[in-house]
Amino acid sequence: MIKGKIPRRRLWFVPFLLPSMAGVLIFTFLPFADSVRRSFCAAVTGEFVGVNNYRTVFSNEAFRLAVKNTLLFTSVCIPLLIVLSFFIAYGLSRLRHIALIKSALLFPLAVPTAALVLIWQILFGDTGWINNILTSHGHEAVSFLGSSKALWVLVGSYIWKNLGYTVLLWLTGIMSVSTAVTDAARVDGANERQILFRIVLPELKPALYTITIISFLNSFKVFREAYLVAGAYPHKSIYLLQHLFNNWFVNMDLDKMAAAAVAVFSVIFAAIVLLQRAWDREET
């Protein structure tokens, strides 16, 4: 690089990047920076209050509940999803005609959440169809959406939606294990189980990493289902972080929101960075 003068050619990418960057700047980056600023100021007056807002947020009951629920939810649904989809993918990897099955499993991804809200209510509502089956067999009606079972309903809906592409990802990973190695191992006398644990699984670590990240991020999307089916103030077992944000927003608790947003962002950011470091270390 010649000092002083950067050849124009080198800056070819600027106009390419500019529109996107401008938009991101305006609509995402700068506003977020502003949020950070706000998180240190009071909502109404705008004066600097230090970590007051953070203190308020962290001591807020609702926030704690939301955090607890969100963490609980992710720690339950992600492993469940990963394990379940792995088994399905493994099974599929042995079969031939799987296109249709793949399509079927993938389809829920395409289904708009709002379209199914009523169906969920019909099935899982307090007076819904599943309760109908239960009561007609002599059991008690279960309040799916109004008790701690709501969490499981949400987990179920999450798995339902995300099974398809998680299976797909596993499948890709499994398929990419070179057949040469497995064939060689088979010739050497290893049984399926050994092949599975010794060869396939280690190869799948990158896939696992990816799947974990994506599943983690999609676990936030489940808020939409919860909100549409159970409203803004659902049973406390499914009161997630997004519910909290939504309600704070509606009430215009801007400083609390800003502080919480920054806090959540930082946590996710940290998680990603950590995972990335771990993955990078794996790579090299």
152 is an interface residue for other proteins by CB under 8 A: no
Binding mask 219-248 for other proteins (x = CB under 8 A): -xx-xx--xx------------xx--xx--
258: which residues sit within 8 A by CB, 6+ positions away? 35, 36, 38, 39, 53
Q: What b/e readout covers 150-172, taking b as 16+ CB neighbours within 10 angstroms? A: bbebbbebbbebbbbbbbbbbbe
With CB under 8 A as the contact rule, the residue among 29, 48, 197, 233 that binds other proteins is: 29
Burial of 196: CB neighbours in 10 Å, binned 0-12, 13-18, 19+: middle
In the complex, the smallest distance separating the C-beta of residue 248 from other proteins, rounded to whole angstroms, is 8
144 is an interface residue for other proteins by CB under 8 A: no
With CB under 8 A as the contact rule, the residue among 3, 4, 7, 12 that binds other proteins is: 12
Neighbouring-strand partners of residue 41: 48
Using the contact rule CB under 8 A, the part of the chain among 49-57, 72-80, 147-155, 255-263 near other proteins is: 255-263
Residues 121-140 that bind other proteins (CB under 8 A): 121-123, 125-129, 131-132, 135
196 is an interface residue for other proteins by CB under 8 A: no
Q: Residue count at the site for other proteins (CB under 8 A)? A: 103
147 is an interface residue for other proteins by CB under 8 A: no
In the complex, the smallest distance separating the C-beta of residue 55 from other proteins, rounded to whole angstroms, is 19
Amino acid (1-letter code) at residue 18? L
Half-sphere exposure (Cβ direction) of 105: Cα atoms closer than 13 Å: 20
28 is an interface residue for other proteins by CB under 8 A: yes
Report yes or no: 61 and 143 within 8 Å, Cβ to Cβ: no
30 versus 51: smaller Cβ distance to other proteins = 30
Interhelix angle for 99-110 vs 61-93, to 10°? Answer: 160
